[in-house]
Every structure is written in C-alpha cells, then in structure tokens.
Amino acid sequence: MRWTLKQTTNQTSVNHLKEVLGIDEVLAKLLVDRDIHTFEEAKKFFRPTLDDLHDPYLMKDMDKAVYRIELAIRNKERILVFGDYDVDGTTSVALVYSYIQSYYPDVDRYIPDRYAEGYGISYQGIDYAADNNISLIIALDCGIKSIDHINYAKAKGVDFVICDHHLPGDTLPDAYAVLDPKRSDCNYPYKELCGCGVGFKLIQALAKNRGIDVYQLSEYLDLVVTAIGADIVPITGENRILAFEGLKVLNETPRPGIQALLEVYKQNNYTISDIVFKVAPKINAAGRIEHGNYAVDLLTRFSIEEARNTAKMILAFNEERKVLDQAITEQAKEQIIVEKAINSKSTVVYNPEWHKGVIGIVASRLIETYYRPTIVFTKSGNVLAASARSVKNFDLYAALEACSDELIQFGGHMYAAGMTCNIENYEAFKAKFEEVVANTIEEKDLIPEIEIDAELNFSDITPKFCRILKQFEPFGPGNMNPVFLTKNVYDTGYSKTLGVNKEHLKVFVKQRGNLSTSFSGIGFNFGSYNDKITNRSFFDLVYSIEENEWNGKINQQLQIKDMQLV
C-alpha cells in the first residue's frame, strides 16, 4: 500500500478560513481541498438547504418537457415511465411514476429485462407503449444515445421526454424534450446529477408549474439519496443538498419499501456508505437475478406489510446473488492461477456458465485481490459479454478503444465498461488488452494508494474538532471521509483480534509523548498485525474518525486504513 500525503496548495485560503471561521489548520485545509475558500461558501457547505437548489427551468428543454406532460394530462393520454434496471433507474421510475400518479391515474411504468432487452430504451418497450395506446414515454437514466429507438417511436406515434445524465454523443435523439445537464448547449449550473436527480428536477418543475413548493416534495428524497449513493456521483453542490435532506427522510420517515430493507439492521442512523453497501446491492439484485420490476414494486408500496412481502423476495434474490458472486470469484481466481497469470498487468477471465448479472461485481472483487484492470467474460447468446473495472489513474475506456478491432461493441467510462465480442476473437482480445495495459500503465498504479488528507497528533482530536468534522457529512465522492496519519502510536496492552477466524483487529492506542489521550480503533482484516503491535512496538497509523455507538453511548473510534511499524 502506498501512502500519499496531500499538500496544501492554497495557504492564503487556509489562513483566511482559519480566521473567519475560528477553526484549526487541518479543518481549514480540508475545506480548501473541497474548493471552499470563503465564509459564504463554507456556510452553504455546512448548512445545506433545499432553498439553494437551482431553478429546474434553467435546464435546457425543461419548459418543453413540462408542457408535453401537462398536455398529455389535459388530453387524457396514457403516459409510460421507462427506466433502467439498476438502482438509479428503478428509483427514478419509482419517483416520477409515484409523483405523476398522485394526481393523474393513467400512468404506467416499464423496466426492460436485463437479459432479453439489455440496457436502455428497447424496441420491446416502445412496442409495449404502441400496443397499449400510450403516446408519451418519459425515459429516465437512459436514452441520450438512443437515436434509432426514438425515430422508431416517432414512426409509431409515440413521443419521448428523455431525462438522462450520461454524456451525449455528437447527435441528440429527436425526442420532444431532452433533459441532460451534460448537453453541450445546456447551461444548467450543476452537471453531476444522477438519473434520479434529473428525475427530481423534472417533478420539481412540474410542481412549480402547479404552485407547489419544493419542500412538499421531500417525501421523494429517500429515493434520490439512494440513487446518489448507488451511482457513486460526487457529493458536491446540488447533490450534497439532495443527499443531506434525503438522509433525513431515509432515517426519519422512509417509504415502506426502504423501511422494509432496513429492518434487518439495528441501526439508528444510516449514511451514504450504508446505502452503498447495504441498500443498493439488494435493490440491484432484483434486476441481476430476476427482474427490475420487483425493485420498483418495492419502492412504490403504500403499506409496510406489502413492502415486507416484496422485500422478502428481493432479499432472497440478494442471497442468490451473493452465492453466485462468491462462487464465480473463486472460479476466476483458480483460472488465473491455472493460466499462470498472477504476474500479468491485467486480468481477463472467461467461463460460458458464469451468470451475466454478477460479472461486474466479480470484476470488482478480483481487483480487491490483484489490483489491476480487470475484465470478466461470459456467454450471452451467440457472443461473449463482459464487464470491466479499472484501477485508479488507468483509463479503461482508452485501453478498450485500442483493442476495438477485436470487439463487437463497447461502452462505459474511465473506470467501468461493458463490451461484447465474438467467441473466436476472445484470445486475440485478451492478448491485445494485456499488451495495451502493459505498455501504458505506470508501475506505481499497480499498487493501491491511500491518500492522506493531513497528519494529526492525537491531542488535535478534540470534541470541537470532531463536532466540526461531523458537519462535513454526508461523505462520498468529491467529499470523502478525511483520512489522517498519526505517527509513533503504540498499543496500550488491550488490543485483540475479533471475528470467527480472528481476521479483524480491535486496538486501544496512545501516541508517544501524550499519555493523557487514548483511542480505540477497529481494523477490518488487520488481525495479522496483532502480534506485531502487542509487544509495545511503535507504528504509524492511517485512519478515519467515526462515531461508534455502544450501549447508548457515542464515542469516537478510529477506522484503520493501514499501519506500518516504525
């Protein structure tokens, strides 16, 4: 593991914030690292409010989208809300469908089948609309590149309002309205909304058109924060406001479907991290194992009893997903060993029997073990389909472009992608991908890196410091939980291993020269370090600071990221 200590790039701003906010150097540096330089910017950061959301009509085509939806309602047209099968798509459909249905009954919803229809707008979905006398489709979290599909729909007399957040191609689809803050001609001030976020801006505009205040839409924000967490978009700007307010709803008055998913845990407070690791995988499991409709059913239930029944099915899908994920990961590791690919610069594995719904998860698992660009293939009809994941600083999309002659198609971005290839081209692609990675990746990028925000002494971690640090939440991309380094730490004699296989480490530590301050800490999968630190050896500790609730008491606990003996 490489440790990299971030350097202060704007000491003037750090000094200014220390003075106007009355905070210490480290906290001021953390704010500057988040591009916060003034008192006013800090105030907006620490006090997110729905009042600071942008006017939805600043988004290109929003007026046209609202006009077309209101026209459909006046003319008693049937409306179809269409979205992808992942968390962002299913929460988006639940959001817009629920809102429109609250005042207009003739609205339907549609999630494509992951295996029969694939990602995005499908011809089957358009046929469903045409066959059922639906004249308007609202597409969420997809559609920005669906030029042929939209033309097909127009020929059948079906209009589209597209709400997407992915990067458009050179040509936009000929839809009635195209909402996408990443459109080159869209001047909307915030570009990083997820699909459900764009959906929320649409219902905000519809509500505004009806004289309804944005605060009356708060009940939908548990869906929005779930999508923000699952889609790993930056927790900055408008996303920070939506996440902050959404977590309040999720923790205090969640909709029955989310409440049913959370009932298996005994927590009082859920964070973005909990959404990522506890809620999102379950919602995703519906589309991976069976069908995304189960997820939308769950998220639109009115009664907790109905929600619990649907949640039972989804939890069963998730258990099946975990079994598949674990088994395929082990098979993939065996394949790597058999093929003597341990020292390769990339990982490319294939088995025709692997479940297409979990190969993306398996790719991520393999990176945890081998830490290099990874692609997992399986058979899909007459071709091979794959999911790919990358490591920090390596452009996966560019590497796939260099291998595109061996592929049928591919899409994605720097760190994640999907592709298809002919079976007879698999070995050639695998060799070419390894060659491209070996020639372009830097050796240091094959070693996991921990970025350290600042060095602290334990005496710096005061109640005031922790109180202000808590106001940095919610944490996520663009606003990660700060990571600190403390040097010359030692075990006080009470550290021990935890877990069935003693794989985890519970520490009780002090810092040399500071006998009065001690902290407990937890290091998952650090059990092997116990013997090294219990003989009073000094070590350097990298950690984040978290609250630990036990028997009704809340204490600060160090979440260990890494440690090195001095």
pLDDT digits (tens, 9 = 90+) for 391-450: 999 999 999 999 999 999 888 788 888 899 999 999 999 999 999 999 999 999 999 999
How confident is the prediction for the chain on average, in pLDDT?
A: 94
Mean pLDDT confidence for 478-492: 95
pLDDT over threshold 80, residue 552: no
Beta bridge partners of 556: 547
Among 100, 231, 84, 222, residue whose Cα is nearest residue 143: 84
Residue 79: the pLDDT is 98
- DSSP for 97-140 reads HHHHHTT---EEEE---TTTT-SSS-HHHHHHHHHTTEEEEEEE
Residue 117: the pLDDT is 86
Residue 411: the pLDDT is 81
Task: Provide the percentage of residues in the chain whose pLDDT is more than 90.
Answer: 86
**CA dist list (Å): 303 to 222, 224, 294, 297:** 16, 20, 16, 12
pLDDT over threshold 80, residue 557: yes
Q: Give exposure, 348-383, as e/b (b: 16+ Cβ within 10 Å).
A: bbbeeebbbbbbbbbbebbbeebbbbbbbbbeeeee
Residue 534: the pLDDT is 80
Residue 563: the pLDDT is 94
- Taking the whole predicted model, whether its pTM rises above 0.85 is answered as yes
Tell me the C-alpha distance between 159 and 139, whole Å.
Answer: 10
Confidence category of residue 303, pLDDT binned at 50, 70, 90: very high
pLDDT over threshold 80, residue 536: no
Tell me the C-alpha distance between 204 and 197, whole Å.
Answer: 10
pLDDT over threshold 90, residue 335: yes
pLDDT digits (tens, 9 = 90+) for 209-268: 999 999 999 999 999 999 999 988 999 999 999 999 999 999 999 999 999 999 988 788
Mean pLDDT confidence for 517-544: 90
Tell me the C-alpha distance between 362 and 370, whole Å.
Answer: 12
pLDDT over threshold 80, residue 452: yes
pLDDT digits (tens, 9 = 90+) for 88-146: 999 999 999 999 999 999 999 999 998 888 788 999 999 999 999 999 999 999 999 89
Mean pLDDT confidence for 71-86: 96
pLDDT over threshold 80, residue 535: no
**In contact, 255 and 99? CB cutoff 8 Å:** no
Residue 244: the pLDDT is 97
Confidence category of residue 482, pLDDT binned at 50, 70, 90: very high
Could you give phi then psi for residue 366, rounded to 5 degrees? Answer: -65, -35
Beta bridge partners of 88: none
Beta bridge partners of 80: 108, 137
Residue 118: the pLDDT is 79
Residue 415: the pLDDT is 87
Angle at the Cα of 47 from the Cα atoms of 43 and 53, rounded to 5 degrees: 100
